[in-house]
Structures are given as structure tokens and as C-alpha cells.
């Protein structure tokens, strides 16, 4: 047992990094396959991770439960029960062949910070809630931020009928997980219950490393648009149909993809586009592909720029489809505006960084985060922690324990000095 007095507070803090990294490693072993980390929404491994996080929350002195969409929710009461909360958190789902830090670092750090307060018997003039969002990545159902949208009350019930690649609907997957798809609304929180939402996350880029800084203060989360495109031509015999008479959907998709890449490459305003998934049907060596489906992920520094780029891309791939006599269908599967971090809250994150002895450095987030949904019910801020080589969405993703510890100390300081801002005062 550790001593609970001010003299040993530094010692307690220095152990936070080790505790967090130990748990990151444990959570990183809960995966669809042992070789490639994948913990996708509503799968058995997703459930096993939720159960482990619930246990950690309870150990930390939080009252914890699973909400209606599968978010892991913990609450640490303030000086008296029922006070509005400062919400902390991040997501516990992963991409495929993921790193183990994206999401879990923010969630586990928040739990360890509360555990530290609890060990010291410290209660604050507000409650703290920690949320492990169930789906931020959107790997399974081509629809992202499902957990945080449910909390923000903006979950779109239409996505319940969307199907994964095995043909399982989200409705059935929720039921198999033990949740009631007709009661997602129960996860929604009122703005009056939240004072702010703060997320710690790995940077997922190389900027902090280049600045020789362990942490950075996020200015805004860049907006994103995701599209699902499908081209339909005519399947046929690979040995008999002459090249000029083919309506090959896969070569059409290939031309669309290089068109998208060219458009982004030649854009001087920071447009970024990715085709991360493609599926050709019927999928046999000796059959001309009659159908091809692919995704498009587009991001730009401003919403206006991104919207113009989406329109340009759709126009250009329509032209490719027309020339090749293919039928094109494009659906928007995700659209999120750029979310600015609230100046008053960002200033408190910066103060905590400075108080821990680090240079305050601001940077935007090119990656998406749950704050993009939480902005509908609370002001949002983020603290980035340096990651090695800026590598993310890759098994080599890595954060040094010293940086984990610094991130945790900054978050703890922020929590302990937190002052509600103008938005919460109005509620
Ligand atoms: C989430 O990781 C994203 O795609 O930005
Ligand atoms: Mn991610
Ligand atoms: Mn993430």
C-alpha cells in the first residue's frame, strides 16, 4: 500500500506511467487474432475488453456500467452526489492490425488518474466520468463514432440496419452482445450533466517528436468525409471477351483510385485522400470483375475545402464510370465538420502542461476523435502525447513510458485545477 500524503504524491505520480503501460499491454492482448491486433465493435473480444475495463474502473473507485451502445462508463462522485461531471475518455475499439495505444491510452490514463484521486481520498467540486467509447474507428459497419454519437444523442437509428462484411446487421450484433437495439437512446446524456469533455490521445503524427516535446495541446480536430463507392459493369469470361468490349468494374475502380490520388497530390491546400478498402466481385482469377466496391476517406484543413474536394472527386469518378460504361453509386457514410477545441478549456490544458514544466505547443489533429461527436453536448479539449516516429494505425505504434507518465501527470493536474467554463455556466 502506498502512503496517502503530500510528501509521497510525487512518488505516486511516477508510478502512473508503469500502471498505464501494464494495462495497455494487457488490453493489447485481447484481439480477434493473436498476431494482428483487431478489436472490432460488438465482437466477443470487444466484450472481453469491456469487462476488463469495467473491472479496472471499479478498482479505481468508479461506479461502472455498460451503456446501451456498449460504452464502458464510470463515475466518480464529487464532494456530493449528483454534481455535473468533467468527462474524460477515449475509445476501446481498434482498426485492423492496429497499434495498442490508439484509444486505450486516453481511457486507461483517465482511469489511473481517478484511481490516484481515490487513493488520496480526494473529492472535487464536480464529478468525474470516464467513458470508454465502444466504436470510434467505424471498422465494422462503415459508420464511425457510434459510441460517442449515442452519448451525444445524435446516433442515427438508420445505421442499425447496416450490415458488416459477413452480412450481420448492427441490430443483430447489438443483441448478440447483450444490448437492446431499440433502446440506444438510453445512452444519451443531457448537456447539463457535462461541464466539459477532455480526451488524451497519442498524437498519431510526427510533430511532437520533431519539436522534442512529450505533449501538445490540440487546437481543432479536422473534419472528414467518408464515401462508399460501387461500380457495376458486366462479369464475363476472362478468356473470351476482347479488351475493348469489356465493362470491367475493377479496372474502372483502379482508374478512379488513381484519379483521387492525383487530385489530392496536386492540391496545394493540404487535401488528403485515402482509399483503404476495395472488394471485387465475383472474385475469381478467370472472371472479369462485374462489380467493385471501395471506400474514400477525405480530409482537409477547412470544411469548405473538403466539401469542394468531395464534389470534384465525385464529378471526376462519374466521368471515369461514364467513359467505361459502368454504373456508379456513391454514398456518404460519414461526414464530420472540423471541431475547434474550446479556448477556455484549451487554456486550462495549456496551464497544466506549463505547470508540469513543459513548453506549451499547439497543434491540430488530422485524425478523428470522439470529441467530434461530444461537441454537440459539451465543450471539448484534447491533450496529445508524443508517439514514436509518428506511426499509428500500425502495430509499430509506440509511446515511451516516460511520456505516458508525463501525459498522466498533466491530465491529473488539469483535473485537480479544473474550473467550469462559460458554456457550463449557461446551463
Ligand atoms: C480515426 O482514427 C480516424 O480515422 O481519424
Ligand atoms: Mn484510430
Ligand atoms: Mn483514436
Query: Digits of tens for pLDDT over the chain (427 positions)?
Result: 333 443 334 444 458 999 999 999 999 999 999 999 999 999 999 999 999 999 999 999 999 999 999 999 999 999 999 999 999 999 999 999 999 999 999 999 999 999 999 999 999 999 999 999 999 999 999 788 999 999 999 999 999 999 999 999 999 999 999 999 999 999 999 999 999 999 999 999 999 999 999 999 999 999 999 999 999 999 999 999 999 999 999 999 999 999 999 999 999 888 999 999 999 999 999 999 999 999 999 999 899 999 999 999 999 999 999 999 999 999 999 899 999 999 999 999 999 999 999 999 999 999 999 999 999 999 999 999 999 999 999 999 999 999 999 999 999 999 999 999 986 544 4
d(CA 202, CA 102): 6
What 3-state class would DSSP assign to 262?
Answer: helix
Ligand 1 binding pocket mutation candidate from 368, 373, 387, 390 (most atoms within 8 A of CB): 368
Closest CA to 151 of 237, 81, 88, 58: 88
* Residue 115 CB–ligand 1 contact under 6 Å: no
Q: Which residues contact 8 (CB under 8 A, 6 or more apart)?
A: 2
Write the pLDDT tens digit of every residue in 2-60.
Answer: 334 433 344 444 589 999 999 999 999 999 999 999 999 999 999 999 999 999 999 99
d(CA 340, CA 222): 8
d(CA 104, CA 82): 27
Closest CA to 133 of 420, 370, 293, 343: 370
d(CA 216, CA 200): 10
Q: How many CB atoms lie within 10 A of CB 25?
A: 11
* Residue 138 CB–ligand 1 contact under 6 Å: no
Residue matched to cell numbers 462489380 = 291
Ligand 1 binding pocket mutation candidate from 137, 139, 339, 373 (most atoms within 8 A of CB): 137
252 by Cβ neighbours in 10 Å (0-12 / 13-18 / 19+) ranks as buried
Closest CA to 176 of 72, 73, 47: 47
* Residue 222 CB–ligand 1 contact under 6 Å: no
Residue matched to cell numbers 477525405 = 298
Kindly give the interhelix angle for 44-59 and 104-119, rounded to the nearest 10 degrees. Answer: 20
| CA atoms 9, 60, 396, 334: torsion sign | negative
Closest CA to 119 of 217, 247, 243, 13: 13
CA 101 to centroid of ligand 2, rounded, Å: 9
**Which atom of ligand 1 is found nearest the CA of 392?**
2
Kindly give the interhelix angle for 303-323 and 249-265, rounded to the nearest 10 degrees. Answer: 150
Amino acid at each position: 500500500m502506498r502512503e496517502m500524503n503530500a510528501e509521497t504524491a510525487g512518488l505516486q505520480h511516477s508510478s502512473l506511467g508503469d500502471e498505464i503501460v501494464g494495462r495497455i499491454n494487457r488490453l493489447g492482448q485481447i484481439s480477434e487474432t493473436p498476431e494482428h491486433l483487431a478489436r472490432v465493435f460488438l465482437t466477443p473480444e470487444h466484450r472481453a475488453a469491456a469487462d476488463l475495463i469495467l473491472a479496472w474502473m471499479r478498482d479505481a473507485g468508479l461506479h461502472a456500467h455498460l451503456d446501451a451502445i456498449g460504452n464502458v462508463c464510470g463515475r466518480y462522485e464529487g464532494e456530493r452526489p449528483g454534481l455535473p461531471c468533467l468527462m474524460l475518455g477515449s475509445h476501446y475499439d481498434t482498426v485492423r492490425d492496429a497499434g495498442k495505444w490508439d484509444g486505450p491510452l486516453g481511457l486507461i490514463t483517465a482511469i489511473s488518474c481517478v484511481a490516484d484521486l481515490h487513493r488520496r481520498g480526494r473529492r472535487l467540486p464536480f464529478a468525474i466520468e470516464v467513458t470508454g467509447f465502444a466504436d470510434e474507428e467505424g471498422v465494422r459497419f462503415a459508420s464511425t463514432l457510434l459510441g460517442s454519437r449515442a452519448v451525444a444523442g445524435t446516433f442515427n437509428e438508420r445505421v442499425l440496419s447496416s450490415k458488416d462484411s459477413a452480412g450481420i446487421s448492427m441490430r443483430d450484433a447489438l443483441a448478440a452482445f447483450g444490448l437492446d437495439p431499440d433502446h440506444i437512446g438510453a445512452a444519451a446524456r443531457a448537456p447539463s450533466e457535462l461541464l466539459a469533455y477532455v480526451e488524451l490521445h497519442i498524437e498519431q503524427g510526427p510533430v511532437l517528436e520533431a519539436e522534442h516535446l512529450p505533449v501538445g495541446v490540440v487546437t481543432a480536430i479536422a473534419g472528414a468525409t467518408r464515401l462508399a463507392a460501387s461500380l457495376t459493369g458486366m462479369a464475363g469470361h476472362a478468356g473470351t471477351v476482347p479488351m475493348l468490349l469489356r465493362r470491367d468494374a475493377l479496372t474502372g475502380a483502379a482508374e478512379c483510385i488513381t484519379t483521387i490520388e492525383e487530385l489530392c497530390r496536386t492540391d496545394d491546400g493540404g487535401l488528403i485522400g485515402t482509399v483503404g478498402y476495395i472488394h471485387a466481385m465475383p472474385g475469381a482469377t478467370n472472371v472479369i470483375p462485374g462489380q467493385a466496391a471501395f471506400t474514400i476517406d477525405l480530409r482537409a484543413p477547412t470544411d469548405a475545402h473538403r466539401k469542394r474536394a468531395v464534389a470534384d472527386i465525385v464529378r471526376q469518378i462519374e466521368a471515369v464510370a461514364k467513359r467505361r460504361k459502368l454504373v456508379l453509386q456513391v454514398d456518404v457514410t460519414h461526414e464530420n465538420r472540423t471541431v475547434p477545441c474550446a479556448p477556455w478549456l484549451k487554456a486550462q490544458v495549456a496551464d497544466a502542461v506549463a505547470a508540469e514544466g513543459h513548453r506549451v505547443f499547439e497543434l491540430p489533429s488530422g485524425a478523428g476523435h470522439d470529441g467530434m461527436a461530444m461537441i454537440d453536448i459539451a465543450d471539448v479539449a484534447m491533450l496529445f502525447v508524443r508517439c514514436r516516429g509518428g506511426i499509428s494505425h500500425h502495430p509499430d505504434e509506440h509511446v515511451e513510458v516516460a511520456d505516458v507518465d508525463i501525459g498522466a501527470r498533466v491530465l491529473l493536474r488539469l483535473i485537480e485545477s479544473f474550473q467550469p467554463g462559460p458554456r457550463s455556466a449557461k446551463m
